[in-house]
Amino acid sequence: MKQRRYPLLFITIGASIVVFFLMNLTIGTIAIPPSSVWNILWGIGDEAPVWQNIIWKSRFPQTLTALFAGAGLSISGLQMQTLFRNPLAGPAELGISSGASLGVALIILLSGSVGGVALSKAGFYGELSISIAAIIGAMAVMFVIILIAQRVKGNVVLLIMGVMIGYIATAIIGVLKFFSNDEDVRAYVIWGLGSFSKVSGDQVYTFAILMTALIPLSFFLMKSLNLMLLGENYARNLGLNIRRARLLTILSACILTAIVTAYCGPIIFLGLAVPHLCRTIFQSSDHRVLMPASTMVGASLALFCNLIARMPGFEGALPINSVTALIGAPIVIFVLLNKRKNELNE
Amino acid sequence: MKKKTITVEDLSIGYITKRSRKIVAEHIQADIFSGELTCLLGSNGIGKSTLLRTLSAFQPKLAGSIHLLGKEISEYSEKELARLVSVVLTEKTSILNMTAYELISLGRSPYTDFWGTLAEDDRAIIDRIISLIKIENLAPRMVNTLSDGERQKVMISKALVQEAPIILLDEPTAFLDFPSKVEIMQLLHRLSREVNKTIFLSTHDLELALQIVDKIWLIDKDTRLHIGTPEDLALSGVLSNFFAQKGIIFDMETGLFRVANRFNREIRVTGHGRKYAMVRKALLRNEILASRNAETPSYIDVGDLHSPILIGQNGQETRVSTIEELLDRIEDFL
């Protein structure tokens, strides 16, 4: 009975992705009718070059970024929550986002005050170096975490280490901000608000290809994650190599977060909220259901958030992180309240 | 059908840290047989869990050897061990949104494919175990809605679908109410007979263990291990020595322990049967020793099951209908 609902749910979520995707292309300060969007996408008819430009140069890359970022962060969040058996774990909790932020802060703020170059104004190369800095920062933290993971046994300790590394990174960023000029600080703050439209031109396709390769790879961990639900000892007794499984899970979650953060800045709340939403919608803890579900719901929700942020009138005014928080937080609250109610009813 | 499945020789257990080596127990020499329910007893912190963890390969042994089905434990790979030893642990696994059936089916993991898909025969085995443990009604329920006893049965089912010849349980009766404790112990006993598994558990429920299990391993205060049937250990005095302390008496007649009541007064009680025994028990709890041939001025006649109880002293008599009333009035007659 429960099994039979899954296909219907997946079809519904799939449909919502298509609808939100097209709405993202259609809606904006300049309204382009759906039929024209359709024609432009398939390269038929002759639509105004301005419209073609808007679609291909701005809206399509942004929509694609939102889609993949949402999917990647949600999987990362799901992996973290299962690994740490903690409903509050998310991509940010291991300090990965903070690491990326530290990398970006170092390059934006130091290039200004030490190098005398305003990186925020350096165009394409500026963007590229920011992405690279974010990845380096995230990876550096990841290696520290993995080193710690090899040494400590408990996952709680590891989680606390991650949070502490996050604090240290934030503290260093604070010091850097204090000594930087206003313009660079502003550039850094704007990066920190997150955006799906940072990625320009062909970089989007690199991002899309990376994510298309990495997301299916993370699916290989489904059986391990299911066993981890039982706790470390039971999982080990069922033949799971805990050390390896933990390492691979951290690696997978970190790489996904690092890449998304490099391209979009630290996007909050999606990674935390989507797994909760999926567990409630699908009434399951089985990762064979939750992994594809989180991928799809994450993509759908990110597209929806992007849509809200780009509503006519808001264009450029609403940072994506405000939208994800405004939508994500109520979802988490709703899910938790609903869970209590179910527990009482049963 | 007794068969030696676990052979332990000169085993030392404990913990190794970077700086030190803490030995919990050493020179353990023992065998565990299939088709027998073996129970590990000992006070808290004496090393019961350490021994179980060592036998299930969760932690390395410090010295000696453990042979599982004739092969040294450290020579088995993780995957092989998963098909050889299954465990039920004390830790409470709180999982939301998972049915008991799904949890039990995770026990098939050592046999399922890369994605963990259940094949036809996996499902057949799970169904067979579910009906063996008689939890058909629990299978579709969410794990977090189960009571402690129900959850324990589900975990035992999980261990059984793993189809390992050896099952180790760390205090499976902890946190359970009394009927559930009895049920779980009897279930384990039945399993050791019916499916010919080697079942080894630790417990604090001494009373139950003495009545149900086939073999007792008792670690005493000097971390020496005594092994034998409950009856043999009773006769050799090991059990009474172990629990020799104020307030507990080992009753040789029944082979069980009972609380030692102290008394400072006596009363003559006449009567017989169940009612006599109950009156005597109630009085003893109130530090009054009742006996048929006590020479006291006050006396009690319990009568038969349906008649009132008579209390008397120096020709003064009163009748009460319950033991509670008797206890309320007894002070006036002593």
Distance, CA of A153 to CA of A149 (rounded, Å): 7
- 3-class DSSP assignment, residue A229: coil
pLDDT single digits (tens) A120-134:
566 667 777 888 888
pLDDT single digits (tens) B94-115:
788 899 999 999 999 999 999 8
- Predicted pLDDT of residue A344: 45
Cα dist from B268 to B160, B260, B277, B313, whole Å: 56, 20, 13, 11
When mean pLDDT is compared over A110-119, B290-299, B319-328, the highest value belongs to: B319-328
- Predicted pLDDT of residue A119: 59
pLDDT single digits (tens) B302-319:
888 888 888 988 888 888
Q: What angle do CA A89, A95, A97 make, to 5 degrees?
A: 95
Average pLDDT over residues A227-236: 91
**CATH topology identical between B1-84+167-246 and B265-333:** yes
**Contact between B78 and A284 using a beta-carbon 8 Å cutoff:** no
Residue B279 reports pLDDT greater than 50: yes
| Dihedral pair phi/psi, residue B319, rounded to 5° | -115, 135
- Predicted pLDDT of residue A17: 96
Q: Which amino acid is at A152?
A: V
**Contact between A234 and B89 using a beta-carbon 8 Å cutoff:** yes
Secondary structure of chain B as H, E, C letters: CCEEEEEEEEEEEEEECCCCEEEEEEEEEEEEEECEEEEEECCCCCCHHHHHHHHCCCCCCCEEEEEECCEEHHHCCHHHHHCCEEEECCCCCCCCCCEHHHHHHHCCCCCCCCCCCCCHHHHHHHHHHHHHHCCCCCCCCEHHHCCHHHHHHHHHHHHHHCCCCEEEEECCCCCCCHHHHHHHHHHHHHHHHHCCCEEEEECCCHHHHHHHCCEEEEECCCCCEEEECHHHHHHCCHHHHHCCECCEEEECCCCEEEECCCCCEEEEEECCHHHHHHHHHHHHHCCEEEECCCCCCEEEECCCCCCCEEEEECCEEEEECCHHHHHHHHHHHC
Average pLDDT over residues B87-99: 85
For chain A, give the percent of residues with pLDDT over 90: 31
Enter the ipTM.
Answer: 0.83
- Predicted pLDDT of residue B246: 66
- 3-class DSSP assignment, residue A266: coil
Residue B257 reports pLDDT greater than 80: no
- Predicted pLDDT of residue A316: 62
Nearest CA in chain B to A221: B115
- Predicted pLDDT of residue A315: 59
Answer whether CATH 3.40.50.300 is correct for domain B1-84+167-246: yes
Boundaries of domain holding A172: 2-345
Q: What angle do CA A76, A161, A260 make, to 5 degrees?
A: 25
pLDDT single digits (tens) B184-216:
999 999 988 888 889 999 998 888 898 999 999
Q: A3 pLDDT band (50/70/90 cuts)?
A: low
Closest to A239 (Cα-Cα) out of A231, A227, A247: A227
Distance, CA of B198 to CA of B191 (rounded, Å): 9
Buried/exposed A82-107: b ≥16 CB within 10 Å, e otherwise: bbbbebebbbbbbbbbbbbbbbbbbb
Number of domains in chain A: 1
pLDDT single digits (tens) B39-54:
999 888 888 889 999 9
Distance from CA of A296 to the nearest CA of B (A): 19
Mean pLDDT of chain A: 85
- Predicted pLDDT of residue A118: 60
Average pLDDT over residues B152-180: 91
Strand partners, B250: B257
**Contact between B114 and A343 using a beta-carbon 8 Å cutoff:** no
Q: Which amino acid is at A78?
A: L
Q: Which amino acid is at B67?
A: H
Domain ranges, ordered by start, for chain B? 1-84+167-246, 93-163, 265-333
Residue A227 reports pLDDT greater than 90: yes
When mean pLDDT is compared over A39-48, A219-228, A319-328, the highest value belongs to: A219-228
| Dihedral pair phi/psi, residue A191, rounded to 5° | -60, -40
For chain A, give the percent of residues with pLDDT over 70: 90
Answer whether CATH 1.25.40.10 is correct for domain B265-333: no
pLDDT single digits (tens) A93-119:
678 888 888 998 888 887 766 655 665
Q: What angle do CA A109, A110, A116 make, to 5 degrees?
A: 100
Distance from CA of A53 to the nearest CA of B (A): 44
Average pLDDT over residues A299-324: 84
Residue A234 near chain B (CB below 8 Å): yes
Q: Are A162 and A145 in contact (CB under 8 A)?
A: yes
Q: A1 pLDDT band (50/70/90 cuts)?
A: very low
- Predicted pLDDT of residue B266: 86
Distance, CA of B232 to CA of B215 (rounded, Å): 10
Distance, CA of A73 to CA of A283 (rounded, Å): 21
**Contact between A230 and B102 using a beta-carbon 8 Å cutoff:** no
Question: Which residue of B53, B58, B97 to mutate against A (max A Cβ within 10 Å)?
Answer: B97
Nearest CA in chain B to A336: B96
The enclosing domain of A6 has a CATH number of 1.10.3470.10
Q: Which amino acid is at B120?
A: E
pLDDT single digits (tens) B11-30:
999 888 777 888 888 888 89
Q: Are A121 and A190 in contact (CB under 8 A)?
A: no
Nearest CA in chain B to A344: B145
For chain B, give the percent of residues with pLDDT over 90: 40
**Contact between B89 and A233 using a beta-carbon 8 Å cutoff:** yes
Nearest CA in chain A to B163: A238
Q: Which of residues 58-87 of A touch B (CB under 8 A)?
A: none
**Contact between B98 and A229 using a beta-carbon 8 Å cutoff:** yes
Beta-carbon contacts below 8 Å between A and B: 76
pLDDT single digits (tens) A257-300:
989 988 888 888 899 899 999 998 898 999 999 999 999 999 99
* B36-41/B215-219 β-pairing: parallel
Does residue A210 or residue A182 have the better pLDDT?
Answer: A210
Q: Which amino acid is at A159?
A: L
- 3-class DSSP assignment, residue A196: coil
Q: Is A207 exposed, middle or buried (0-12, 13-18, 19+ CB in 10 A)?
A: buried
Average pLDDT over residues A203-213: 91
